[in-house]
């Protein structure tokens, strides 16, 4: 930490404020401060949004599919009760639930949509936080075995024009065999609840029904399609599930969340690094502005520096003065950037809505962005790294102007005074 004497603090404070005939230097310094602020704010906002994307997608994907699934060969798991017992007995596995996931078609009032039927036990439907977090209409409690009621995603309800109480038809290709071929099986169900997960692809496709009803619809008897597994640590899912994968080899395939969504999460990781690198250039540009403003300040204050040197000011003291001036500009810009970033993140959805209103463009199309709202999850470590990076760059930018000021020869400057 640079420790200034009383006169050094006074001079540094004086150089930070505009003097007579120094409005242009002050303007350049102000632009440098704003540039640092915008660079820090942009980095904080973008990294927080990227972290929010990953966290939201992970929570919602894992909330529906677990950390891994044990899927039967051919899409069916006949001895699922035994696999369920093995999974629950495996160390590190916190829960194991039987599921049916089957792509089908649905129709309502002449509209036909592709869907993904999710069969779950009634108690699992009611206890699933991802599905129950935002029930827009109806009640999940009405979706019980034998009731003929299902829950559908909000976007699917919009596409079909269906509401709670509507009768939708589910079309299964596994129907009766006749001399003319297989007749699709069409069964009507009542919409008992409409939910919103927050991931467009899920909200547009999912139809949740009791496991027993799904087995009846798909003519599966007492079999299921897979076992959903939750573990104590999502990042260690591979080693935790290794014993289960070995025990079920040949009858089932164990697939974890990284394998199911590898391309998506890898793309997010690459994009985070790329955005961090590109936006760091903004801070670098701002630092060069600090450098140029300090060089201009040194040139403007050459006579003052020479007089200070003749009065006994040391080279080290002059270096400290200009280093503090430049670092203060960087520090003020960094603090302002952190505040601006926090304000933007707090009102992020309002900002998006305002820009959409002004431009008339849909900037946040859920069908493209996956999520229905702009997410955010600031990482304190990343915020500290961004702030430190801005401060270090600002400090480094002060070294050359400070050295130039300290190396001023008072004899040469004052020769003709």
* pTM, rounded to two decimals: 0.69
**Selection from 406, 263, 337 nearest residue 48 by Cα:** 337
Residues 150 and 192: beta-carbon distance below 8 Å = yes
- At 4, phi and psi to the nearest 5? -100, 145
Sole residue written with tokens 């024009």: 161
Residue from 252, 255, 260 nearest 80 by CA: 252
Q: Residue 107: what pLDDT?
A: 92
Tokens of 296: 């201009």
Return the sign of the alpha-carbon dihedral for residues 283, 286, 291, 297: negative
Query: How does pLDDT run along the chain (417 residues), one tens digit per residue?
Result: 456 677 777 777 777 776 666 677 777 778 888 888 998 998 899 889 888 888 877 777 777 778 888 888 777 888 888 888 888 888 988 888 899 988 999 999 889 999 999 999 989 888 888 888 889 999 999 999 989 999 999 999 999 999 999 999 998 887 666 555 566 788 999 999 999 988 888 889 999 999 999 988 888 888 888 888 988 888 788 888 888 888 888 778 888 887 777 777 777 778 788 888 888 888 888 888 888 888 887 877 777 778 777 877 788 888 888 888 888 888 999 999 999 999 999 988 888 888 888 887 776 666 555 666 778 888 899 899 999 999 998 888 888 888 887 887 776 666 655
Strand ranges in 135-205 using DSSP code E only, listed in sequence order: 135-138, 149-153, 167-178, 181-195
Strands (DSSP E) contained in 66-156 are 68-72, 93-108, 111-120, 135-138, 149-153
Taking the C-alpha atoms of residue 99 and residue 83, their distance in angstroms, rounded to an integer, is 12
């Amino acid at each position: 930490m640079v420790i200034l004497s009383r006169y050094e603090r006074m001079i540094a404070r004086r150089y930070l404020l505009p003097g007579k005939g120094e409005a242009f230097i002050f303007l350049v310094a102000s632009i440098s401060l704003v540039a640092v602020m915008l660079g820090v704010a942009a980095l904080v906002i973008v990294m927080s949004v990227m972290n929010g994307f990953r966290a939201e997608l992970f929570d919602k994907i894992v909330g529906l599919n677990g950390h891994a699934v044990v899927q039967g060969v051919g899409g069916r798991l006949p001895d699922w009760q035994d696999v369920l017992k093995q999974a629950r007995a495996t160390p590190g596995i916190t829960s194991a639930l039987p599921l049916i996931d089957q792509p089908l078609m649905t129709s309502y009032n002449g509209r036909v949509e592709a869907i993904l039927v999710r069969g779950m036990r009634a108690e699992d439907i009611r206890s699933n936080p991802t599905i129950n977090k935002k029930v827009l209409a109806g009640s999940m409690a009405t979706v019980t075995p034998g009731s003929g009621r299902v829950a559908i995603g909000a976007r699917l309800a919009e596409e079909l024009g269906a509401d709670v109480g509507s009768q939708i038809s589910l079309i299964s290709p596994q129907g009766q065999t006749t001399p003319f071929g297989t007749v699709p099986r069409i069964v009507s169900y009542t919409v008992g609840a409409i939910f919103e997960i927050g991931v467009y692809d899920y909200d547009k496709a999912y139809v949740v029904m009791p496991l027993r009803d799904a087995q009846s619809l798909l003519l599966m008897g007492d079999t299921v399609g897979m076992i959903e597994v939750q573990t104590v640590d999502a990042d260690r899912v591979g080693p935790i599930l290794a014993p289960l994968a070995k025990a079920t080899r040949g009858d089932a395939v164990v697939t974890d969340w990284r394998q199911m969504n590898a391309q998506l999460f890898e793309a997010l990781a690459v994009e985070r690094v790329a955005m961090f690198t590109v936006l760091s250039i903004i801070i670098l540009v701002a630092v060069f502005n600090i450098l140029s403003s300090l060089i201009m300040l040194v040139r403007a204050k050459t006579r003052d520096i020479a007089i200070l040197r003749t009065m006994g000011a040391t080279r080290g003291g002059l270096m400290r003065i200009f280093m503090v001036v430049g670092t203060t500009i960087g520090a003020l810009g960094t603090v302002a950037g952190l505040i601006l970033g926090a304000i933007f993140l707090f009102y992020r959805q309002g900002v998006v809505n305002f820009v959409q209103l002004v431009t008339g463009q849909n900037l946040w199309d859920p069908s493209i962005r996956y999520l229905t709202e702009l997410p955010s999850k600031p990482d304190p470590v990343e915020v500290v790294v961004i702030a430190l990076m801005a401060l270090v760059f600002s400090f480094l930018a002060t070294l050359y102007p400070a050295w130039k000021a300290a190396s001023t020869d008072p004899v040469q400057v004052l020769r003709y005074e």
